[in-house]
Amino acid sequence: MSVNVKDFGIENMPEAVLEEYGAKTKDPRTREIMLSLITHLHSFVKDVKPTEEEWFKAITFLTAVGHKCDDVRQEFILLSDTLGVSSLVDSINHDRSGVGTENTVLGPFYVPGSPEMEMGSSIVQKATEEGETAVANGTVYDNNGNPLAGAVLDVWQSSSEGFYHMQDENMPDFNLCGRFTTGEDGKYIFVTEKPAAYPIPTDGPVGDMLNACGRHPMRPGHLHFIITAPGYDRLVTHIFTNGDEYLDSDTVFATKSSLVGEYKETNDEALASELNIESPFLKVDFDFTLMPS
């Protein structure tokens, strides 16, 4: 039996590839995604016209990204973050229409299972030398402006030396992490250290990419939150530290002006004694608004 040999080349790319995938892919969403991916990928290759050495370098780079991943290191998330794609996916999926608190990226350092804590507790298990005591305080509201009871705030941050608990073997597990549940007044309050700017990990291929592109690896200081309540959209967000020098150049493109919190020095002796901290101390007041799901 004779078979007609097809001619493939620059003259019929990507059309020939699109025709094949378009005809054979059954699931409509998979089909839509594959056709768009092929269209954009071919267009990219036609645009940059890589040499074979360059294309192999790209494949070697992605292979190295995969090899860098393990249970606690996710280099692919870091790649998506530093290319601005995580932030874009986040914005596409969480339009809060100017009412709810804005979302931002989850990042690779969230570990489920933080200890449940009473309101007013400290999440600092091991203080760092330069750490400045700070109180985070505010109210979780629903979209009608009513305080939300039963909202769970899962909180985590890096130390003032720039490491999350799983990155530093000298830190206790879940240092600077905690889970708080609001009462009828919707209020939350906990003691921590003022978050400092820190570099994302640069000892892998993503660090090499940033270096090759002349980009710094810094994120402005921030507190991470996941806030959940039955019937409401999960809010994944940060409170960024006001005055941080990296607020205008976050290496993962995740800052939003609405998420900057102001750390103010406070002499509130009564609150200091209630929270078992010394006065004066820093305090950041920040409210959250959840949207119904």
Residues that bind Fe ion (CB under 5 A): 107
Which x/- pattern over 177-216 shows residues binding ligand BEZ (rule: CB under 6 A)?
A: -----------------------x----------------
78 binding partner (options Fe ion, ligand BEZ, none; Cβ < 5 to 8 Å by kind)? ligand BEZ
Instruction: Find residue 135's DSSP bridge partners.
Output: 191, 283
Rounded Cα–Cα distance for residues 106 and 85 (Å): 13
Residue spans of alpha helices (H) in 84-216: 85-93, 205-212
Interacting residue with ligand BEZ among 65, 78, 124, 191 (CB under 6 A): 78
Q: Which is nearer to ligand BEZ, 31 or 73 (CB)?
A: 73
Contact 289, 139 (CB under 8 A): no
Least distance to ligand BEZ, CB of residue 222, Å: 6
**75 contacts ligand BEZ (rule: CB under 6 A):** no
Strand ranges for 48-186 from DSSP E: 133-141, 152-156, 177-181
CB atoms within 10 A of CB 154: 21
Residue 107 within binding range of ligand BEZ, rule CB under 6 A: yes
Angle at 79 between CA 77 and CA 82, to 5 degrees: 105
Of 148 and 236, nearer to Fe ion (C-beta) is 236
H or E element at residue 58 = helix 52-68
> What value, to the nearest 5°, has the Cα angle with vertex 197 and ends 173 and 100?
85
- Residue 193 binding result from ligand BEZ, Fe ion, none, given CB thresholds of 5 to 8 Å by partner type: none
**Minimum CB distance to ligand BEZ smaller for 80 or for 139:** 80
The span from the CA of 41 to the CA of 36, in Å, is 8
Shortest spacing between CB 254 and Fe ion, in angstroms: 9
Which residue's CB comes closest to ligand BEZ? Answer: 107
Assess 109 for contact with ligand BEZ (CB under 6 A): yes
C-alpha to C-alpha distance for 291 and 201, rounded to whole angstroms: 33
Q: Which stretch binds ligand BEZ (CB under 6 A): 19-27, 104-112, 141-149, 205-213?
A: 104-112
Positions touching ligand BEZ (CB under 6 A) are 78, 81, 105, 107-109, 200, 219, 252
